[in-house]
Amino acid sequence: MDRARAAGIILHLTSLPGPHGSGDLGAEAYDFVNSLARARQGIWQVLPLGPTGYGDSPYQSFSAFAGNPLLVDLRELAMHGWLTSGELEGVPDFPPGTVDFDSVLPWRMQQLRRAHERFATSGHTAQHDDLAAFRQENADWLPDFALFLAIKREQGEVEWTRWPAEFAAREGAALDRVRLRLAGEIAFHEFVQWCFFRQWRCLKRHANSVGVRLVGDVPIFVAHDSADVWVHRELFKLDEAGRPLVVAGVPPDYFSATGQLWGNPLYDWDRLAARGYHWWIRRLRQAIALFDLVRLDHFRGFASHWEIPAESPTAAAGRWMPGPASSLFAAATAQLGELPLIAEDLGVITPAVVALREEFGYPGMRILQFAFGDDPEAPNYVPHNYVPETVVYTGTHDNDTAVGWFRSEAGAGTTRTAAQIARERAHALAYLNTDGREIHWDMIRLAVASVAHLAVYPLQDVLGLGTEARMNMPSTTSGNWRWRLSPGQFHGDHERRLRELAETYDRGLFTVRPHP
């Protein structure tokens, strides 16, 4: 990975402003890239971009390969004549400052269906040829994904284990019949994916042209109710009906006294290894084609993962089980070359996890909010203990904002006591030599000044927002992923302050070579 010093911002695309209820790949995304370039921020970390399922979380996606229809820019489709200005002007009264998924997604899907109908009858030959080429290039996942969503809609959106047995078990003759019956619905989902990836690649080209690298995210686990598990049941630890035998999570930690019960099915790593890790290598190949850098979620899970019986009500009953360790990354490197990965090495980190990360030269992550408390791991997060091969964050999408963290109280989304919080706050004030009135800028300066090659912070921290702007609360299943930037909220004064810090601490933009 390029070891140049750079800084940047975490912001999910849905959090951008825009006229259609959520951020997307439209003009506001280009405006944000331009703001980053003016602020000398060379990194935009976008988080996962897959179609969301349970809890509206991009970490619970219907596909590890597909793009989120919610992110398709409808105005670009109107430019082709596939939507009318009247259709896009008749927007419901979506709430400002938040994404109301329950109302936004159905409205957007209705517009996408209209666009597909017009494309089918009036699209240019070159556009239809481009869609055909897209289908061919993505034949290893797109047909199954489109079929999965088509059947899911026909079955009332229930999870695939509740479908008729011939569909759940993927009986060949039954699937052949349903492909014919649902051909139109399948074509619609393929069209939406084509739109997403066309628009994404245009945005990435623009970002790279002005020196901004896009950092993507590969969640280690996939959702049980996904095309991935439905198609590749043999790669997961499932019972005969396709239900998980064991599920993913982490033991009790900073966020929860009972641990985090994620509920994702766990991989059968022996079977994946016997197949040369083909499925995982396809995932990584696509990720490094789409992004300049890739944050590999829950890296410690590749050394060993927390396995929880499927019937357990909390994560506390789990046990550590071995992962694929170096064999997966050696196989991927042999096929794909050096991988531009960031290892999300947070949580209970053992020497084996450190050795695995160092073996392949992946930079690890450090969170400043973890640096000042009583936890035995805290010294690892203090900047004077960093090595340059590090990505430092004030916090991530899973943390409270810097202001919210600084003002937090016992019992509010944390396992810390009032006394621990008081000691942590005092330590932070002393370390930062500050009165805390602009704790968010103090934290950003500390990150940018560190020796870490990359310094990244949520946009909420740049804006100095409190807990009300938090993106995600781990181990909760509702009310997350909703925060949204208002027009003009991120402005020239923020750009100036970020630029001054970047210049002071020698962080800048990139010269990005196009991906072959």
Q: Is 297 a catalytic residue?
A: yes
Residue 35 domain flag: no
pLDDT band at 255 (very low <50, low <70, confident <90, very high): low
Q: What is the mean pLDDT of the chain?
A: 95
Work out the average pLDDT over 338-358. 94
Q: Is 268 a catalytic residue?
A: no
| Closest by Cα among 422, 405, 410 to 457 | 405
Work out the average pLDDT over 382-409. 96
Choose, from 297, 345, 424, 442, the residue flagged as catalytic. 297
Domain carrying residue 260: 237-267+296-362
The per-residue b/e assignment along 350-383, b for 16 or more CB within 10 angstroms, e otherwise, is eeebbebbeeeebbbbbbbbbbbbebeeeebbbb
Looking at residue 15, what is its pLDDT?
98
**pLDDT tens-digit map of 289-334:** 999 999 999 999 999 999 999 999 999 999 999 999 999 999 999 9
Residue 326 domain flag: yes
Greater confidence (285 vs 477) lies with 285
Residue 496 domain flag: no
In whole angstroms, what is the distance from residue 25 CA to residue 515 CA?
20
Residue 344 domain flag: yes
- Per DSSP, the residues of 255-289 read S-TT-EEEEEEPB-HHHHHHTTTHHHHHHHHHHHH
Q: Is residue 246 within 8 Å of 310, Cβ to Cβ?
A: yes
Q: Is residue 237 within 8 Å of 244, Cβ to Cβ?
A: yes
Residue 251 domain flag: yes
> In this structure, what token pair is assigned to residue 201?
């690649």
Choose, from 217, 228, 292, 344, the residue flagged as catalytic. 344
> What is the SS3 assignment for 350?
coil
Residue 253 domain flag: yes
Q: Is the dihedral of CA 390, 392, 397, 399 positive or negative?
A: positive
Residue 486 domain flag: no
Looking at residue 514, what is its pLDDT?
55
In whole angstroms, what is the distance from residue 255 CA to residue 264 CA?
19
φ, ψ of residue 485 in degrees (nearest 5): -70, 140
Question: Which helix (H) or strand (E) segment is 113 a member of?
Answer: helix 101-122
Residue 203 domain flag: no
**pLDDT tens-digit map of 153-170:** 999 999 999 999 999 999
Choose, from 398, 400, 442, 461, the residue flagged as catalytic. 398
CA dist 238 to 148, 235, 264, 429, Å?
19, 9, 11, 50
Looking at residue 347, what is its pLDDT?
81
The per-residue b/e assignment along 487-503, b for 16 or more CB within 10 angstroms, e otherwise, is eeebeeebbeebbebbe
Lowest-confidence range among 21-30, 49-58, 123-132, 252-261? 252-261
Q: Is 442 a catalytic residue?
A: no
pLDDT of 226 > 80? The answer is yes
CB contact set of 192 (below 8 Å; sequence gap of 6+): 69, 72, 112, 116
Number of domains in the chain: 1
Give the Cα-Cα-Cα angle 346, 348, 352 (nearest 5 degrees): 95
Q: Which residues pair with 216 in a beta bridge?
A: 294
pLDDT of 361 > 70? The answer is yes
